[in-house]
Structures are given as C-alpha cells and as structure tokens.
Amino acid sequence: MTQDPLLTGLAALAAEPPEALLDRIAARWVRVPAPIGELAVAFTDHGVAYVHAGEGFAEAYRKRFGRPLLPAARPPAGLLPALRTGRTAGLPLDLRGMSDFQRDVLEAARTIPRGEVRPYSWIAARVGRPRAVRAVGTALGRNPVPLLVPCHRVTRSDGAVGDYVFGAAAKERLLLAEGVDLDRVRALADERVFYLASDTTGVVCFPTCHNARRITPVHRHGFRSLAQARAAGYRPCRTCRPAQDVAV
C-alpha cells in the first residue's frame, strides 16, 4: 500500500520547540551564601525574580508568581559577587508583575550606595509621590529581591532602622556590616539633626553620604530640615540628592 503523500506531508509538519522555550515558562532556583545566611534565589530569562530566607521557599514562590520552579545547575552570572559586595547595579532583575509605583520605588532604592541610608520620605519624593511615604514602606516590605534591591538601606528618619522583609535585627546587622555607623545616625537623630553641611564646600548632605562623612568637626553643621540648611546658604549635595529638584 502506498502512503497518501498529503497525510505523510501533514505528519512531517510536526516540530520541536526551541530549547530556550522552557526558560520562558519556568523559573530556575539555586541556594547561595549571603551575609545573612543561606538564601534561595529564583530567576527567569529576564533576571532574578525572588530572594527568600528560611523555610517555605517553593510554596512562597508558587503562591506569589504561579510559575514552575526547576533546579538550576549554577547561579545566574553576577549574583554571587552582587551578594558578596552589596553592589548590585548591573544585575538583571525580573520585576514583571509589579505595579509601576512598586517598580519605581525599587529602582529608587537600588540607587542607594552600600554604606549609606536614606529615609522613606526620600524614596517617596524620588518617585514623584512625596506624600506616599506609607505606601513606599509597603512597597519595600513586598520587595521580592531583598539585598539585590537594597531596601535595608531605607530607614526611618528618627534614627531607628525600621521594618525589614527578613526582620529588623537582620536589617541592623546588614547595615553595620556595610559600614553604616548606626550609633552616630541615632545620636544625630536624638539631637534632631537629619542633614549635615560643610562650610568649606557649602554643601548639605544626608549624614551617611560619603561627602558628609569627610567633613571635619570644625566645619560641620547639623540641620533639622533642608529648608533651614538652604536658608543658611547651603546647596543640596548632588551625590546623595537630599532635594529632588537638584539636577545631577
């Protein structure tokens, strides 16, 4: 019996999907060492999507993202150095599924350098919603990629470190390990000093800005508000950007 060429032709139209298609569907996961102990990290073809400490990683990921999670042979390029150094700028992140506001908040937090902290109100001003300080706190509390978006560097203006996805104690440990002088930040806050200015440069900064840390005691002046510092003739620092209306 000869085969019907039409049926043979149709059967030959079957095709295999490209290898990479699975990575559009499923995320991969690895365990990696971090400054606060071992972490589980999930990543997709877009970047790192989820960082989790402790039990219940797979269930938490499934509940939040609804995407299959398969083991990875190795961590994504750049993850281990980013966790080790706290410098995460180049690492691709997968922030799909977040609102524009959440993404803006995380992108703003990502600009805070290691060893420095910023108040929640600074993030709110940065994303153009100066009154949404509480919403900023909520968005940071839902940060899916702690450490990689360093939400631990956003602290309360009264000198307390504030809440953290992995707990306030972990936040304090991380900041100390990154070289933030929390005692000094608290001492300044107790004196109602939230900005430091230098009378040699005429610049006013957040206390943990690397420019502020260089000011010698005789030239250092503390301020409660930016308006007071400006009234005294100081201009906001272009590095730590205490004011949003200053061009970089």
Partner 1 sequence: MSEFDCLDPVRKALLDDLDEGFAELYGAYRGLVFSAALRLSGRWADAEDLTAEAFLRAYRALAGYERRRIAELQPRAWLMTILMNIWRNCARAKSRKPPPDLREEPVDDVDPGEDVEDAAVRRETGQELAELLSLLPEEQRAAVVLRHVVDLPVSEIATVLKIPQGTVKSHVSRGLKRLRTLGGAR
Residue number with CB closer to partner 1 (43 or 164): 43
SS3 state of residue 163 = coil
Q: Nearer to partner 1 by C-beta: 71 or 217?
A: 71
205 carries an active-site annotation:
no
Distance of CA 224 to the CA centre of its chain: 27
Nearer to partner 1, 66 or 90 (CB): 66
**Residue of 151, 205, 209, 240 marked catalytic:** 151
CB of 41 to partner 1, least distance (A): 15
Structure tokens at 193: 């000093």
By CB under 8 A, name the binding residues for partner 1: 6-7, 9-18, 21-22, 24-26, 58, 62, 66-70
Output the six-digit token pair for 21.
């298609």
Q: Which two tokens stand for residue 54?
A: 């402790």
Query: Shortest gap between Cβ of 180 and partner 1 (angstroms)?
Result: 39
Reference 106, options 139, 61, 65; nearest CA is 139
Q: Which of 108, 126, 115, 109 is nearest to 185 (CA)?
A: 115
CB of 59 to partner 1, least distance (A): 10
* Pairing of the two strands 47-53 and 69-71: unpaired
Using CA atoms, how far residue 70 sits from 19, 22, 102, 109, 177, in Å, is 15, 10, 27, 29, 33
Q: In this structure, are residues 69 and 31 in contact, taking their beta carbons and an 8 Å threshold? A: no
User: Minimum distance between the CB of residue 167 and partner 1, rounded to whole angstroms?
Assistant: 28
Q: Closer to partner 1 at the Cβ: 15 or 218?
A: 15
Catalytic residues: 151
